[in-house]
Amino acid sequence: MIDLRSDTVTKPTREMRQAAFEAEVGDDVYEEDPTVKRLEFTAAEMLGKEAALFVTSGTQGNQIAGLTHCNPGDEVLLEANSHIFLYEGASMSALAGVQPRTIEGDRGAMDPEDVRQAIRPDDIHFPETGLICVENTHNKAGGAVVPLENMQAIYEVAREQGIPVHLDGARLFNASVASGISVKRFADQVDTVQFCLSKGLGAPIGSVIAGSADFVRKARKWRKRLGGGLRQVGMIAAPGLIALTEMVDRLAEDHDKVKILAEGLGNVSGIEIEGKVETNIILVNVEGLNLSVEKFLVQLKQEGVLAVPFGPKVVRFVTNYDVSHGDIREVIERVHHIASRV
């Protein structure tokens, strides 16, 4: 079975497993785990932030950021198809007691003027705008890289109004590799950032949030409140260190594989590639096959390939470390088989 459902399905490398086995550990609630300290220091250095904090998942990291930045009753501005809004179980409302206000973007990028107009004036009838969230790469936009200039413009608007900006950078390193822009330059355009050690970087678990030392101090308490204070966490931080130091450059291989996949599937009668392919995600419109997404995925699984629905007409494929160039050629051939039968 060739699994292209997500880059979350990657398995840790042998080196990661060995590092976990040999990790020097301590109680991280007491801040005594040397391995997680090295991970947090390395991440903060790479992002150009004062401090960083290991968290169990990207969703937890995003929610800790919201809890740390906002007060109950605040409003959070975010793109209408953002992961935080669509795929995190309304956590910001349930946990932080904040109200999301969505802004329609173009391939995940909000218009800075729309953001400016959405910021609430000082009026007793309105909530206060407590946070602006951006996402890069943008999952629902097919792994689109949100331009640095767009992030800069939004950050300028936010600073004028004294509103913090948080970056859901679950796949930030994909954005960096695809654009040639360092993660530090992207992180310079926000106050806080979350990125995943799993997904394309291949670690088995964990994410990192980073920002000022004061933000991380407050975030640490929120992590504890959410049950995220761990003990000998070095055993899962050690693979994360390898992910950060040895797995970033290889993301270009995943981008190359998805371009080959896009070219091959684009030549299948009845299939249309949606949007621009920039990183490791491709959105495929199967309407022309006269198959529903559900029926297409069933036939695809019968052919030994896994993908996920991403709308009434669209299927998402995501390349990852465990899928080879040979696997990509097989996927193209198997989709041709499906198309030839309809």
Using one digit for the tens of pLDDT, what is the confidence trace for 161-220? Answer: 999 999 999 999 999 999 999 999 999 999 999 999 999 999 999 999 999 999 999 999
Determine contact, residues 209/55, Cβ cutoff 8 Å: yes
- The overall average pLDDT reported for the chain is 97
Please give the Cα distance from 119 to 130 (Å, whole number).
Answer: 9
Question: Residue 262: pLDDT above 90?
Answer: yes
C-alpha torsion angle, residues 293, 298, 303, 309 (rounded to 10): 40
Nearest by Cα to 190 from 246, 132, 239: 132
341 alpha-carbon distance from chain centroid: 36
If you average pLDDT over residues 232-253, what whole number do you get? 97
Nearest by Cα to 137 from 278, 319, 339: 278
Give the pLDDT of residue 245. Answer: 95
Neighbours of 330 (CB within 10 A): 16
If you average pLDDT over residues 147-160, what whole number do you get? 98
Q: 322 vs 111, 201, 245, CA distance in Å? A: 37, 11, 19
Give the pLDDT of residue 342. Answer: 80
pLDDT digits (tens, 9 = 90+) for 15-67: 999 999 999 999 999 999 999 999 999 999 999 999 999 999 999 999 999 99
C-alpha torsion angle, residues 72, 78, 84, 89 (rounded to 10): 60
CA end-to-end span of the chain: 22
Question: Residue 255: pLDDT above 90?
Answer: yes
Q: Among residues of the chain, what percentage have pLDDT more than 90?
A: 99
Identify whether 13 is preceded by a cis peptide bond (ω within 30 of 0).
no
Give the pLDDT of residue 180. Answer: 98
pTM of the model: 0.96
Question: Residue 338: pLDDT above 90?
Answer: yes
C-alpha torsion angle, residues 299, 305, 307, 313 (rounded to 10): -30
Neighbours of 183 (CB within 10 A): 21
**Quick one: tokens of 96?**
């932080």
